[in-house]
Amino acid sequence: MRTKVVICWDGISGYMGACWHALTAQPSIDLKVISTSINAAFDPEVVRGVNLHLLKPEQDHDAGLVAKLVKEHNPAVVVVCGWSRPQFSAIAFNPGLSNVKFIMAMDTPWRGVLKQRFTWLKLHRFLGQIDRVVVSSERSFQYALHLGFSETRIRRGIYGFDYNHLAPLFEQRRGLMGGWPKRFLYVGRYAPEKAIDVLIEAYNRYRTRVENPWPLECCGGGPEGYRLKNQEGVEDSGFVQPRDLPAALLRAGVFVLASRYEPWGVVVGEALASGLPVLCTEACGAGLDMVRSCVDGLTVATDDAAALADGLLWMHRNYDRLPDMGGRGQPLAAAYSAQAWADRWAMWINELADNQNSRRA
């Protein structure tokens, strides 16, 4: 008998679509996903074949509807994404789901700020309903400990992505007629936390220090997009659908992420999977897990345009090393493939389902 599980998630994406497909294929899992309408701009093809109920915008905050949809699947396990969506967190207190085990996914990094130190006071009732918490990185692991979860209740690995689809890009890039591309790439939202201002300042500094600067392609959308306009060497390609991401990665020689706040950063893993060296800030949780300086990329200080410019310059001056660095990053990224993600989550879900009558650890 397959274990019935409902995942309540905040929006769809290409990488989560790949993960849900892989979990759907697990013979021991009967999956249903309930998602808010956030990121509705994504091509629906990324979730075709997944048992998904995508809430309409006017339904996003309807806790009663969400509870009804969950109960219809009769799950043994329910996964909720953090605590910021009341329509999802309320499920943990629904009398009709009293026998269900709950997993909370959280990627918020521990930063030691005052607000975080007292979060458990506000959330203690909700957190008491959670049987397992799955975190994204060591920083969110530490936050989970501060929230009162014991190590026995914490697991690592919220995110995964379509590694198998991206991995062939490495050999394709190595075989390009013009050689390894002399081109930087950024993919992500044009939002303040992504530090587009720092990225552009650093890139402009870099351009003054070399005779033939490489172009910077930016793929995304958002309110900070105006910073890219009329910047010499900067190409704004706009939002790219998941199906178009491989082409953007193949055009590039180095991936850059200047975020000032980045709980994890799936795109770092996707870039490494494609065989690209990565330059990212210390704020990026995925950098902590996968980027090793001078091995498969570089990490630099956060919110520091001079440090980021130095990183761009180092990549430029070490052009001949880039293919080897790209090859060394792929095995690190492989641990986060959608298949590996599904294997981990199926194990955790079945662990809880098999011990429904046991006391919480």
Fold equal for 3-160+337-354 and 163-334 = yes
Q: CATH 2.40.30.10: does it fit domain 3-160+337-354? A: no
Q: Tell which CATH architecture fits domain 163-334.
A: 3-Layer(aba) Sandwich (3.40)
Q: Which of 137, 234, 224 is nearest to 186 (CA)?
A: 234
Rounded Cα distance between 7 and 351, Å, is 16
* Structural domain boundaries in the chain: 3-160+337-354, 163-334
Q: What is the CA radius of gyration of the chain?
A: 21
pLDDT of the chain, 361 residues: tens digit per residue: 899 999 999 999 999 999 999 999 999 999 999 999 876 567 778 899 999 999 998 998 899 999 999 999 999 999 999 998 999 999 999 999 999 999 999 999 999 898 888 888 889 999 999 999 999 999 999 999 999 999 999 999 999 999 999 999 999 999 999 999 999 999 999 999 999 999 999 999 999 999 999 999 999 999 999 999 999 999 999 999 999 999 999 999 999 999 999 999 999 999 999 999 999 999 999 999 999 999 999 999 999 999 999 999 999 999 999 999 999 999 999 999 999 999 999 999 999 998 764 444 4
Rounded Cα distance between 149 and 299, Å, is 30
The H or E element containing residue 155 is strand 154-156
DSSP string, 158-199: ---B-HHHHTTHHHHHHT-TT-S---EEEES--SGGGTHHHH
- Dihedral pair phi/psi, residue 165, rounded to 5°: -75, -30
Rounded Cα distance between 222 and 196, Å, is 10
